[in-house]
A and B are shown apart, each in its own frame.
Chain A
Amino acid sequence: MIEGLHPALLMLLGALVLPLLRGIWQKVLSVLVPVLALIAVAQISPGSSAEFRFVGVDLVMFQADQLSLVFAWVFAIMAVIGNIYAWHINDTGQRVSAFLYIGSAFGVVFAGDWFTLLVAWEVMAFASAYLIFASASRAAVAAGFRYLMVHVVGGVLLFGGIILHGVQTGSYLTGPLDHGAGGLAYNLILISFMLNAAVPPLSAWLTDAYPEATVTGAVFLSAFTTKTAVYVLIRNYPGAEVLVGFGVAMALYGVVFAVLENDCRRLLGYHIISQVGYMVAAVGIGTEMALNGAASHAFAHILYKGLLFMGAGAVILMTGRRKLTEMGGLYRTMPITVFLYMIGALAISAFPLFSGFVSKSMIISAANGDHRAAVALLLTVASSGTFLHTGLKLPYYMFFGKDCGLRPAEPPLNMLLAMGLAALFCIGIGIFPQLLYAQLPYPVDYHPYSGSHVTESLGLLMFTLLAFVLFLKYLDPEKTISLDTDWFYRRGASLFMWIARRPVLIWEQWLITLGDGAGLRLMHRLSRVSLRLDTQVIDAAVNGVALTALRLGMLLRHLQSGIVSHYALAMIVGLILLFGWPLYVAMGAP
Chain B
Amino acid sequence: MIARLVNFFGEKRHAKLRWRLLQVVLVLIVIADALVVHPHTQFPWQAVPGYSAAFGFISCVAIIFISKFIGHSGGIMRDEDYYD
B6 within 8 A of A: yes
A574 to chain B, nearest CB (A): 34
- Cα distance A336–B33 in the bound complex, in angstroms: 33
Please encode chain A, from 355 to 391, with 1 for each CB lying within 8 Å of some chain B CB and 0 for all others.
0000000000000100101001000110011001000
Given known pairs A259-B71, A469-B22, A482-B71, the reply for A338 and B56 (CB within 8 Å) is no
Binds B, one of A126-134, A185-193, A277-285, A473-481: A473-481
B81 to chain A, nearest CB (A): 9
**Is the pair A335, B3 in contact by a Cβ cutoff of 8 Å?**
yes
**Which residues of B are found within 8 Å of A464, using beta-carbon distances?**
56-57, 59-60
- CB < 8 Å: which of B37, B42, B62, B75 contacts A368? B42
**Which residues of B are found within 8 Å of A371, using beta-carbon distances?**
42
**Is the pair A481, B82 in contact by a Cβ cutoff of 8 Å?**
yes
B48 to chain A, nearest CB (A): 11
Given known pairs A388-B64, A463-B60, the reply for A338 and B29 (CB within 8 Å) is no
- CB < 8 Å: which of A332, A452, A461 contacts B56? A461
**Which residues of A are found within 8 Å of B26, using beta-carbon distances?**
462-463, 466
Given known pairs A256-B70, A459-B29, the reply for A474 and B64 (CB within 8 Å) is yes
**Is the pair A455, B61 in contact by a Cβ cutoff of 8 Å?**
no
Given known pairs A458-B29, A482-B71, A483-B78, the reply for A463 and B54 (CB within 8 Å) is yes
- Cα distance A52–B10 in the bound complex, in angstroms: 60
Interface residues of A in 445-494 (CB under 8 A from B): 450-452, 454-469, 471, 474-475, 478-483, 490
**Which residues of A are found within 8 Å of B67, using beta-carbon distances?**
255-257, 259-260
B26 to chain A, nearest CB (A): 6
- Cα distance A481–B79 in the bound complex, in angstroms: 6
Please encode chain B, from 36 to 55, with 1 for each CB lying within 8 Å of some chain A CB and 0 for all others.
11110011000000111111
**Is the pair A399, B10 in contact by a Cβ cutoff of 8 Å?**
yes
- CB < 8 Å: which of B33, B80, B82 contacts A456? B33
Contact size range, A: 35 or more
A584 within 8 A of B: no
Please encode chain B, from 2 to 29, with 1 for each CB lying within 8 Å of some chain A CB and 0 for all others.
1101110110000000010010011001
Task: Tell me if B's interface is mostly helix, strand, loop or mixed.
Answer: helix
**Which residues of A are found within 8 Å of B55, using beta-carbon distances?**
380, 384, 459-460
**Is the pair A463, B37 in contact by a Cβ cutoff of 8 Å?**
no
A442 within 8 A of B: no
A400 within 8 A of B: yes
A331 within 8 A of B: yes
Given known pairs A459-B52, A475-B64, the reply for A481 and B78 (CB within 8 Å) is yes
Cβ-closest chain B residue relative to A480: B77
**Is the pair A460, B52 in contact by a Cβ cutoff of 8 Å?**
yes
A445 to chain B, nearest CB (A): 14
Cβ-closest chain A residue relative to B3: A335
Cβ-closest chain A residue relative to B39: A452
**Is the pair A480, B79 in contact by a Cβ cutoff of 8 Å?**
yes
**Is the pair A332, B10 in contact by a Cβ cutoff of 8 Å?**
yes
A339 within 8 A of B: yes
Residues of A within 8 A of B (CB): 255-257, 259-260, 329, 331-332, 335-336, 338-339, 368, 371, 373, 376, 380-381, 384-385, 388, 399-400, 450-452, 454-469, 471, 474-475, 478-483, 490
What 4 A-B pairs are tightest by C-beta distance, nearest first? A259-B67, A459-B53, A451-B36, A460-B56
8 contacts between A and B (CB under 8 A): A335-B2, A388-B60, A456-B52, A459-B56, A462-B22, A462-B26, A480-B77, A483-B76
16 further contact pairs, Cβ within 8 A, besides A381-B63, A460-B56, A471-B61? A259-B63, A260-B67, A335-B3, A338-B6, A376-B42, A381-B59, A400-B9, A451-B37, A455-B32, A456-B52, A464-B56, A464-B59, A467-B64, A471-B64, A474-B64, A474-B68
